[in-house]
Amino acid sequence: MPAAALAPSPDTPAALAVERVSLSFGGVVALSEVDLSVAPGEIRAIIGPNGAGKSSLLNVVSGLYKPDQGRVWLSGHSFAQTPTDRLAHLGVARTFQNLALFKGLSVLDNVASGLTHSLRAGVLAQIVGSPLARREKRAVEERAEEAIAFFHLDSYRDRPVGGLPYGVQKRVELARALIARPHLLLLDEPMAGMTLTEKRELTGYIRAVRDRHNTTIVLIEHDIGVVMGLSDRIAVLDYGRRIADGTPEEIRNNQTVIDAYLGVAHDLEAGEGI
């Protein structure tokens, strides 16, 4: 039986908890009474075969989908549907499987756009350069420069994002998500389309984000080697149900998980060490 999700507590709330969430599209069940708890500062992976409900779960957490039943807890706050317009203020940031960068803008401008939600100066104030607008502009640029340095993007700072290598664009997207200093970072297949070298580099950056900023990270990832080497705990979905939950070692030896992946045990060994 899967381990029960940890109940949020007013004293030590989970960074994220999903409580008996179900979701269906017509007659197709995407999620069925899924429980999940993520401790503060944890790197938590969600894995499973194609169609298992992984992205649907992330979409429920980030408010893109409203579940048929169940609730989402974010730092002790409970929601029947997560308010997407309040995600940043709740300390949540997300990246998507497909890059959503402004290809014609520079790396600096793309990273800085991650703080747009926090600006108080209106459009007119920004155009005329009011004192508030100037202060906010300086603060945003300073934060963007910090993020660019953290992800070693200095040499790309003023270049349009659209002409950069794919792995570099992934780092830009991660920098943009982290400029707001979120408590919870949701990553949807961050390694998709990357080379082995790029995966190793991005794995190092993700680990550094958690270690240096105590950011809680939830990621969906198909590369089992990356998952095993990076995660503190792993939840496994299959046909919309959570079938396992535990440490990488526990998941590696879970026969139910091996059966669901139909021979993935070999891949677990082959991908180890990334």
Same domain, 168 and 142: yes
Burial of 119 (0-12, 13-18, 19+ CB in 10 A): middle
Is residue 98 one of the residues assigned to a domain? no
CA–CA separation, 67 vs 212, rounded Å? 34
- pTM greater than 0.85: no
Is residue 243 one of the residues assigned to a domain? yes
Work out the pLDDT band at 271, boundaries 50, 70, 90. Answer: very low
Same domain, 222 and 159: no
pLDDT for 241: 95
What distance lies between CA 52 and its chain's CA centroid? 18
Map tokens 């070999």 to a residue.
Answer: 266
C-alpha dihedral (29, 73, 171, 201), degrees to nearest 10: -90
Q: Which two tokens stand for residue 17?
A: 């908890």
Collapse the DSSP code of 174 into the 3-class scheme (helix H, G, I; strand E, B; otherwise coil) and give the result: helix
Asked which of 125, 149, 181 is the last residue of a domain, the reply is: 181
Same domain, 67 and 124: no
Q: What percent of the chain has pLDDT over 90?
A: 61
Structural domain including 28 reads 1-91+187-274
CA–CA separation, 14 vs 3, rounded Å? 16
Asked which of 132, 153, 181 is the last residue of a domain, the reply is: 181
CATH of the domain at 84: 3.40.50.300
Work out the pLDDT band at 106, boundaries 50, 70, 90. Answer: very high
Quick: pLDDT tens for 48-86. Answer: 988 899 999 999 999 999 999 999 999 788 999 999 888
Same domain, 161 and 132: yes
Same domain, 49 and 27: yes
pLDDT value at 135 more than 80: no
pLDDT, averaged across the chain: 85
Q: Among 80, 82, 1, 3, which Cα is nearest to 36's? A: 3
pLDDT for 127: 53
Check if the beta carbon of residue 221 is closer than 8 Å to that of residue 231: no
pLDDT for 56: 95
Average pLDDT over residues 218-224: 93
Same domain, 218 and 242: yes
The residue with greater pLDDT, 241 or 122, is 241
Asked which of 136, 160, 181 is the last residue of a domain, the reply is: 181
pLDDT value at 7 more than 80: no
DSSP bridge pairs for 216: 184
pLDDT for 4: 38
pLDDT for 40: 94
Q: Among 60, 61, 55, which Cα is nearest to 38's? A: 61
Is residue 177 one of the residues assigned to a domain? yes
Same domain, 12 and 126: no
pLDDT value at 264 more than 80: no
pLDDT value at 180 more than 90: no
* Lowest pLDDT segment from 66-75, 133-142, 252-261: 133-142
Number of domain units in the chain: 2
The residue with greater pLDDT, 2 or 164, is 164
Q: Tell me which DSSP letter residue 203 carries.
A: H
**Residue 101: how many CB atoms within 10 A of its CB?**
19
Angle at 26 between CA 24 and CA 29, to 5 degrees: 30
| Residue-by-residue DSSP string for 78-114 | EESS--GGGTTTTTEEEE-SS----TTSBHHHHHHGG
